[in-house]
Amino acid sequence: MSDSTPLLPWKARATISLLSLLFDASSRSNGTVNRRLFNFFSLNASPNSTPVNGVSTKDITVNTENNVWFRLFTPTVAGEVAGEVTGDGGATKTTSLPVIIYFHGGGFSFLSPSSIYHDALCRRLCREVFAVVVSVNYRLTPEHRYPSQYDDGEAVLKFLEENKTVLPENADVSKCFLAGDSSGANLAHHLTVRVCKAGLREIRIIGLVSIQPFFGGEERTEAEIKLDGSPLVSMARTDWWWKVFLPEGSNRDHGAVNVSGPNAEDLSGLDFPETIVFIGGFDPLNDWQKRYYNWLKKCGKKAELIEYPNMVHVFYIFPDLPESTQLIMQVKDFISKVSNSRL
Ligand SMILES: *[C@@H]1O[C@H](CO)[C@@H](O)[C@H](O)[C@H]1NC(C)=O
Ligand SMILES: *[C@@H]1O[C@H](CO)[C@@H](O)[C@H](O)[C@H]1NC(C)=O
Ligand SMILES: *[C@@H]1O[C@H](CO)[C@@H](O)[C@H](O)[C@H]1NC(C)=O
């Protein structure tokens, strides 16, 4: 383990070990998930309409039959706005807030916007970026395979087009960002491709924030082999997640997984938004993530790669890690830069 795990604070190490244990204990070899076990041990936070640390939250239903909903995070104190700031000499500020549509990670099989990790992460994004955050609950595998997750993401965008009034008045839907971590970043990518093709009326997706995206392929990369002892995203776990995600009979070179491989979608002709990709040196997925970034560049898209050489998969959920705060600040800078370039 010593060469596959860097030195991390004990709390982070303990959380990562417990999550890995819980994922393993809940994932059955016959390709089902023991939901009762997982839900019993998973920690969740309720929405809170009373502001806590300058953020209030509320859950909004999108459709009941697929249990699609989102947790809406609204900043409630005046802050430095990451987008447009107009005013007369700075005396009065009329602010419009960018909107981050966020997809949580968990191998497509686990977690939700109410998991304490993602609830806390979205609160930090809301407060620090000073943005409205829409954190989406989508259907999970293995009960629901590809493309249910992408369909649910699309349902949320359509819902917001028709029901903008559920957002705070100062939310500016012409400045929306899709964002996600791990499998959520895979979802955000494929949803971005869909939006580029089909278009939306009022909502404008102007940027993509891709945090340690979950991609893969049949081939084993150097990082996957070298870091295979890693918690959370060992090959045994990622293989299981892909197997229960993909349509029966497909392998990991499916276009949803090996996004830069032979079955990949050519993005050159699409108006794909500017993208920021975060990777970690101790994340076994980092070769796939670098390929993703290189392929965006190859297709002629604006993309930025930020590497944290000493970080593992999911380091961003630990607010005590300085790198986690740094990541939030880089997301803030990215959103501010892209928003301002659209003024
Ligand atoms: C998988 O295994 C569990 C527990 O052993 C069992 O309850 C379930 O019915 C099995 N499902 C399938 C589809 O084989
Ligand atoms: C907008 O909200 C209404 C009321 O909740 C709902 O019936 C409708 O389906 C929503 N629109 C979309 C596109 O989801
Ligand atoms: C997956 O995609 C990569 C490009 O990133 C490609 O080199 C590789 O051949 C693909 N995998 C397979 C087994 O086709």
CATH number at residue 155: 3.40.50.1820
- What is the rounded average pLDDT of the residues 27-49? 95
Test site for ligand 3: of 258, 259, 288, most ligand atoms within 8 A of the Cβ? 258
pLDDT at 198: 94
Instruction: For residue 16, give every residue at least 6 positions away whose Cβ sits within 8 Å of its Cβ, in sequence order, or none.
Output: 8, 231, 232, 312, 314
- pLDDT band per the 50, 70, 90 thresholds, residue 206: very high
Report the mean per-residue pLDDT for the chain.
Answer: 92
- Range from 37-41, 202-206, 226-230 carrying the lowest mean pLDDT: 226-230
The parent domain of residue 146 ranges over 20-75+94-341
Length of the chain: 343
Q: Is 254 one of the catalytic residues?
A: no
Give the H/E segment covering residue 181: strand 171-181
Angle at the Cα of 23 from the Cα atoms of 20 and 28, rounded to 5 degrees: 135
**In the predicted model, is pLDDT for residue 138 greater than 60?**
yes
**In the predicted model, is pLDDT for residue 83 greater than 50?**
no
Query: Is 197 in contact with 270 (CB distance < 8 Å)?
Result: yes
The answer to the question of residue 321 being in a domain is: yes
Ligand with smallest separation from the Cα of 200 = 2
pLDDT at 93: 42
**Ligand 1 centre from 140 Cα, in Å?**
17
Which of the two residues, 260 and 289, has the higher pLDDT score?
289
The answer to the question of residue 2 being in a domain is: no
The answer to the question of residue 11 being in a domain is: no
State how far the Cα of 72 lies from the Cα of 59, in Å rounded to an integer. 6
pLDDT at 5: 66
Q: Which residues line ligand 1 (CB under 6 A)?
A: 28, 30, 32
The answer to the question of residue 87 being in a domain is: no
Which of the two residues, 54 and 3, has the higher pLDDT score?
54
- pLDDT band per the 50, 70, 90 thresholds, residue 89: very low
**Ligand 3 centre from 287 Cα, in Å?**
11
The answer to the question of residue 82 being in a domain is: no
- What is the rounded average pLDDT of the residues 65-74? 98
The answer to the question of residue 7 being in a domain is: no
- pLDDT band per the 50, 70, 90 thresholds, residue 78: low
- pLDDT band per the 50, 70, 90 thresholds, residue 264: confident
For 9-27, write each residue's pLDDT tens digit: 899 999 999 999 999 999 9
pLDDT at 1: 43
Among 10-14, 215-219, 329-333, the range with the most confident prediction by mean pLDDT is 329-333
**In the predicted model, is pLDDT for residue 85 greater than 50?**
no
| Protein residue closest via CA to atom 9 of ligand 3 | 261
The answer to the question of residue 243 being in a domain is: yes
- What is the rounded average pLDDT of the residues 104-124? 97
- In the chain, pLDDT over 90 holds for what percent of residues? 86
Angle separating helix axes 235-245 and 10-26, nearest 10 degrees: 50
| Protein residue closest via CA to atom 10 of ligand 3 | 261
- What is the rounded average pLDDT of the residues 134-139? 98
Residue 174 phi, psi (nearest 5) = -85, 0
At position 209, the amino acid (one-letter code) is V
pLDDT at 6: 74
Test site for ligand 2: of 160, 163, 167, 202, most ligand atoms within 8 A of the Cβ? 163
Q: Domains in the chain: how many in total?
A: 1
User: Residues of 179-198 as b/e, b for ≥16 C-beta within 10 angstroms?
Assistant: bbbbbbbbbbbbbbbbbbee
| Protein residue closest via CA to atom 1 of ligand 3 | 261
The answer to the question of residue 48 being in a domain is: yes
For 140-152, write each residue's pLDDT tens digit: 999 999 999 999 9
**Ligand 2 centre from 157 Cα, in Å?**
11
| Protein residue closest via CA to atom 8 of ligand 2 | 159
Catalytic residue among 119, 152, 283, 287: 283
pLDDT at 164: 95
| Protein residue closest via CA to atom 8 of ligand 1 | 32
